[in-house]
Structure formats: structure tokens, C-alpha cells
Structure 1
């Protein structure tokens, strides 16, 4: 029996991600490119992209690479999904920036 958690869904997703990373032989940048393509193909919501922004940046992904992924998959998944993905990525970046700004402000406020 597992321990009870206040965030069972997030805990499950984190465990799945760790398991995937341990079993995957892709380089970090290729892994992120693959995941972004899968998110676009599955019509994922912005919050799904939010979870991948920091790891993608840490893997050295650029905005050009993100665009290249969307261009590469467009003939397969269609223009509607690619346009939705582009919008969702933009929304996710806005969320990530807002969170980072709030965290920075909280740190400044805590210092006095």
C-alpha cells in the first residue's frame, strides 16, 4: 500500500516521468523535442507545456527548435493542431514567466 498524498495526480505524473527518463536513451534535447511533438500531436492543453518549459530550457532547446518541431509535424498532425500547439506554447510561456516573476517578487519581499 502506498502512502497517502495531498497531490496524488501530480505524484503519479512525476513518477511516470522519472520512470520514462530512466528507461529512455535519448539525449535531453532530443527527449524534449520528442515530448513537445507528442504534446502537439495529442492536442495537449497549455499546462502540459508548462511542465516541459524548464526542462526544455535546461536541455538547451531554442525557440527556433520549437518552431522546427511544429513545422516538421504539421504535415502529419495538421494545421489546426499545430496552430493550437503554438497558441498553447505561447500561453504556457506566459504562465511560466508570471510564476517566475511572482517567485522573484516573493523572494525580494522576504528579504525585506
Structure 2
């Protein structure tokens, strides 16, 4: 479904990702769903401020509680990504 979505979508990569982040927040997605978008967000050159702006923009629609939950889940996803990156860096040194 994701590949089909990417192939059929006419949005620029940054807009597509911002739309997906908004959709994840609206659907109360788990941290792992946000984690799957970290690399694409970085590759698209999006800044943390842009993600914050999206959450602020959708708050009146999806609710402040859901947006705050999304912010926490994004932070958890970043923590997961950092832990994985650190493990990958340490693995060759141990081997």
C-alpha cells in the first residue's frame, strides 16, 4: 500500500510526509509508525519546526490531547531511532 501510495501521489516528498505525520497523529498511531517515517523525513530535509507546525495546525481538528500524545510518540520514535543507530555503531567495534 505504501509503494502504491507513493507512486500514485502527486505531492512533493516533503508535503507527502507532512500529510502522513498529520494522519498518524489523527489516527493515534503507535511510536513505531512514526519511527518508520524518520529516515524519509530526514531525506526530505524537513525540520523539527515543520513537524511542530503540522501538529499545531491539526490540533483544532483532532484535539489537543491527541496532538500531545503524538508529540510524545514522535519523541519515543526518535529515541528508538537513536538507540538503533548507537547499536549499529557499536556492533562493528565489538565484532
Q: TM-score higher than 0.5 here?
A: yes
Provide TM-score, normalisation by structure 1.
0.82
**Given the alignment of the two structures, is residue 35 of structure 1 paired with residue 20 of structure 2, yes or no?**
yes
Q: What is the distance in 2 between the residues matched to 1:108 and 1:19? A: 39
Aligned-partner SS, 2:37 = helix
**Residue 32 of structure 1: CA displacement?**
0.5
**Given the alignment of the two structures, is residue 96 of structure 1 paired with residue 81 of structure 2, yes or no?**
yes
Provide TM-score, normalisation by structure 2.
0.96
Match of 1:78 among 35, 54, 63: 63
Q: What is the distance in 2 between the residues matched to 1:25 and 1:54? A: 20
Match of 2:31 among 29, 46, 61: 46
- Where has structure 1 moved over 3 Å in runs of 4 or more? none
Structure 2 gap ranges (5+): none
Aligned-partner SS, 2:36 = helix
Structure 1 gap ranges (5+): 1-15
Q: Which residue of 2 aligns with 1:108?
A: 93
